[in-house]
Structure 1
Amino acid sequence: MTARILKIVLGLLLASMLAGTAWLCTAGRPLLLVATGSVSQGLCDAVFVSRVDPGRVFREQHAPLMRGIGWAVRWQVDRAHDEVHASVLGGFGARAVFRPGLGCLLLHDDGPAPEAAGFTPSPIASPFPGRPVAPNDPAIRRALDRAFAEPDPAHPRNTKAVVVLHDGRLIAERYAPGYGPDTPIWAHSLTKSLTSALIGILVREDRLRRQQPAPVAGWRSPGDPRHAITIDQLLRMDSGLPFDETDGALNPLTRMTFLERDMAGYAARMPLAHAPGTAWGYSNLGYVLLGRMVTDATGGSAADAERFARRELFAPLGMAHTVIQTDADGTLVGASGSYGTARDFARFGQLYLDDGVVGGQRILPAGWVAYSHSQTLDTGYGAGFWLNVRNDTRVPVWNASWGMPQLPKDMYYARGAFGQYVVIVPSEQLVVVRMGISLDYGDDTGDLVAAIIAALHRQPPP
């Protein structure tokens, strides 16, 4: 009897091992490559771009999302070659390579990194003082205390930075241990707002037009249903491309970001889910294509695109530590590829508060700011920014709020995953930036900004 039971158990174990091996070689392979790609990219950025503790970033940003396989992930920093390698069970390897001036590049092979030498960017002077500016108002200090508090250890906020500008002045900021005014943080989809601004600059220079058909090589045929998609529709996310950021480890966003060498080529092959201009769907695909347009219009290489962004946007604003990374084909990852400090993004928000002008120099074309926060269809989205005009419905698929009902209706904002926000409130002459690694982030930023507004209203006039 015992022998028979042992035989059955061994048979089940063998069957499980064979099934597991088959899964690893087929359906499981892309999942594990997404995992190693994410880890190598994220930790390369932590070490060489942000210059923060990679072990902490792995614990806060990667391990909680991996659930059952986190124990099997191994990563190694190779400082001699400016690389980070990651693997699962000794296989499914990925590496990310740091390139000066360009950030980190994800690769799934041992070949040379394109533009490996990068370039030496000219320094950009920051308009802010070297040390953090503590708030004078006790009510604002209390608001920052709440922003950095951890009331629920099971769902950590992991706030890393808050910066407050009022009437164009830096009045308050705070940083988590290990972070500071010069620490670039992964901006996630704040990048989309940067990309919208870069497209605006090209419109100002008459190199692109909002209503022209998107210059995507694969869409040139008049018989292609995507031929009619305009740059405006890509910016507004009503191009008809599918809602691409859905639940699950494998979706169009993760496939494009972690499995594709040519991200824009992947996006260009995606079939339409709706006729252009008829439905809204959150679109990383569209913003990667916009990043490709910026790259093509500015010379075609990663270094060309980065130099353009620095010269035309980052330098005039004093965004001293911002980079938009690229894929292996040189395309600016215009959906989510940027790193920047909270101060840098506060300056970016101030540009919009000042109608696209800084120091008397027009950066964005006249009318671009109003266009950027004008409503798309019946949504709470504009053209690269979220709006505060719809509180009666919720974002489809995500079931999240369109806006922040506790804030003035004229507020609009850039938003990125894990709790990245640039909140712009024209009626209050206020910009608030909040950045962190918050996997379960709720409506805390709306409450933070509301508390700051209340504090400002209690202050006596100077």
Structure 2
Amino acid sequence: MEAAEVGQLPISSPQDEGFAADIGVVLDQAIVAKRIWNVHGLVVVRNGKVVLERYFEGEDRERGRGPVGRVAFTAQTLHDLRSCSKSIVGLLYGIALHQGKVPPPEAPLFSAFPEYADIADKNGRDRLTIYHALTMTMGSDWDETSFDYPDPRNSENAMDAAPDRYRYVLERPMIQTSGTYWTYCGGATALLARIITKGTSKTLHEYAREALFDPLGMGPTKWIAGMNGEPLASSGARMTPRDLARIGMLMLDGGRMGGREVVPAAWLTRCVTPAVSVDETRRYGYQWFLRDVAFGRPKGWAPGRLERMWVAQGYGGQRLFIIPALQLVIAVTSGNYGQEEQWKPPTRILNDVVLANLQ
């Protein structure tokens, strides 16, 4: 089947790109069996072509608004990316660095925040660099995982409620040596975004449109701001699953789209090079999760293949999976906020629907 255009993305049949012809049926069966639930959108791209694209109806909650009820999602419906936003900020920092608008990772962090000089040399903060923010190894007291996001004890919520969100992040007590341990920290992303906006003299969304979204041919997007007007850099981006998939396609092409370099290839390499371990299976680069994923059915005693995967992930089941060796991109949006097993639907889409049906 010849590729056709769907919103400027070519499409192809699953079998022409190496999938079982009934991959869509497998997805439907998993939903009926409730192994996959409240997924709102799915776009699977292989070899630069859309092979599976589905949208559903389900309960949703928007960042900054709360529950919005039941929504019938379509290819044009914007969706919260939540913490997938962090990975986008990581890419934007590299573009701004290439343009000479922000300091390099090796620069002292407080050199970008002279307005907070009163806390810069206290409690080991003088050792902080921008690299530590990029890799979430600042070593400061930050807890974004013990409490759900509506809980005021969650550090990201406390940052959003603070009169000065950047002072709040920068003055957290130092409890570890910078650069040694990974701590999930939306505050680190907020600092990176602030450096971008200071260096470019644009809002985060304005710069994202100019430097990344427009070159990728994206449709409408949003970046939610907090009550004080500051962008929710770590969790406020909104776009369609199709446009989220474009970011994966960009990364598979070494930062290029349509022959044009959008993200410098050298920066992209740094984003997806392991800098620190997250846990037994995951590593972290510059605002991107990295892990190995099993692929292929074992033959006899031979194990299946392990391939490197790059992941942007967000609260509620938002995911962008990118597997370079397979030229595969999977964008998932979901509404499973606050659920302990919110990770299961996107993971089962990856393993049981997509990889299990790649021949």
Mark yes or no: TM-score above 0.5.
yes
1:211 aligns with 2:106: yes
Aligned partners of 2:44 and 2:113: how far apart in 1?
A: 39
Tell me the percent identity. Answer: 28
What is aligned with 1:175? 55
CA distance 1:407–1:333, change in 2 (3 Å): farther
Secondary structure in structure 2 of the residue aligned to 1:421:
strand
Secondary structure, counterpart of 2:125 in structure 1: coil
CA 1:429/1:149 → structure 2, altered by over 3 Å: closer, same or farther? same
- Post-superposition Cα deviations, 1:229-270, rounded to whole Å, max 9, x if no partner, equal 22221111011123421333222112223x235422322232
CA contact (8 A) 1:299 1:305 kept: no
Distance verdict in 2 for CA 1:143–1:218, change over 3 Å = farther
Report the equivalent of 1:346: 245
Deviation at 1:454, TM superposition (A): 3.5
Q: Which residue of 2 aligns with 1:449?
A: 350
Which segments of 5 or more consecutive residues in structure 2 lack a partner in the other structure?
A: 1-5, 58-71, 295-302
Counterpart in 1 of 2:324?
426
Residue 144 of structure 1, CA deviation: 2.4
1:151 corresponds to which residue? 34
Deviations 1:258-286 (A, max 9, x none): x2354223222322221211211111111
Aligned-partner SS, 1:410: strand
Paired with 2:30 and 2:13, the residues of 1 have a C-alpha distance of 14
Q: 1:223 to 1:295 in 2, by over 3 A?
A: same
The alpha-carbon distance between structure 1 residues 285 and 128, as it changes in their structure 2 partners (threshold 3 A), is: same
Question: 8 Å contact 2:293–2:308 — kept in the other structure?
Answer: no
Q: 2:32, 2:167 → 1: CA distance?
A: 43
Once the two structures are overlaid, the 10-residue window that deviates more, 219-228 or 209-218, is 219-228
More helix by share: 1
Distance 1:243 1:353 in 2: 33
Tell me how far 1:126 sits from its aligned partner.
4.5
Q: More displaced, 331-340 or 164-173? A: 331-340
Deviation at 1:227, TM superposition (A): 2.8
RMSD: 2.7
1:328 deviates by 4.6
Residue type at the aligned position of 1:255:
A
- Structure-1 separation of matches of 2:85 and 2:29: 27
| Structure 1 unaligned spans of 5+ | 1-124, 392-404, 458-462
1:433-444 to structure 2, matched below 5 A, reads 433-438=331-336, 439=339, 440-444=341-345
Deviations 1:69-109 (A, max 9, x none): xxxxxxxxxxxxxxxxxxxxxxxxxxxxxxxxxxxxxxxxx
The 8 Å contact of residues 191 and 338 in structure 1, kept in 2 or not, is answered as yes
Report the equivalent of 1:101: none
How far residue 331 of structure 1 moved from its aligned partner, in angstroms, is 3.2
Which deviations, in whole Å up to 9, do the C-alpha atoms of 1:277-331 show, x marking residues without a partner? 121111111111112112212215xxx3322110110011122132222335543
Write out per-residue CA displacement over residues 375-409 of structure 1, whole angstroms, 9 at most, x where no aligned residue.
12333222111111599xxxxxxxxxxxxx99833
Aligned match of 1:381: 284
Could you say which residue in structure 1 is the equivalent of 2:257? 358
Pair 1:256 & 2:159 matched: yes
SS in 2 for 1:295: helix
Offset at 1:190? Answer: 0.2
What is the Cα deviation at residue 360 of structure 1?
Answer: 1.3
Give CA-to-partner distance per residue, 1:170-202, whole Å, 9 cap, x none. Answer: 111111130011111111100000100110111
The CA distance in 2 between the partners of 1:169 and 1:133, in whole Å, is 6
Q: Match of 1:387, as an amino acid? A: L
What does residue 308 of structure 2 align with? 410
1:388 and 1:412 in contact (8 A); partners too: yes
Q: Go from structure 1 to structure 2 and tell me whether the alpha carbon gap of 1:388 and 1:188 turns closer, same or farther (over 3 Å shift).
A: same
CA gap 1:255/1:369 in 2 versus in 1, 3 angstroms: same
For 1:453 and 1:426, locate their aligned partners in 2 and report how far apart those are by CA, in whole Å: 13
CA distance in 2, matches of 1:269, 1:143: 50
Asked if the contact 2:145/2:184 (under 8 Å) is kept, the reply is no
Range with greater deviation from structure 2 (324-333 or 337-346):
324-333
The 3 A distance-change label for structure 1 pair 274 and 146 is farther
Select the structure of larger CA radius of gyration.
1
SS at structure 2 position matched to 1:170: strand
Counterparts in 2 of 1:145 and 1:406: CA distance versus 1, 3 Å: farther
1:244 is matched with which residue: 137, 140, 143? 143
1:157 Cα deviation from its structure 2 partner = 2.6
Change (3 A) 1:126 1:310: farther
Contact 1:428 1:453 in 2 (8 A): no
After TM superposition, the score normalised by the length of structure 1 is 0.62
Contact 2:156 2:187 in 1 (8 A): yes
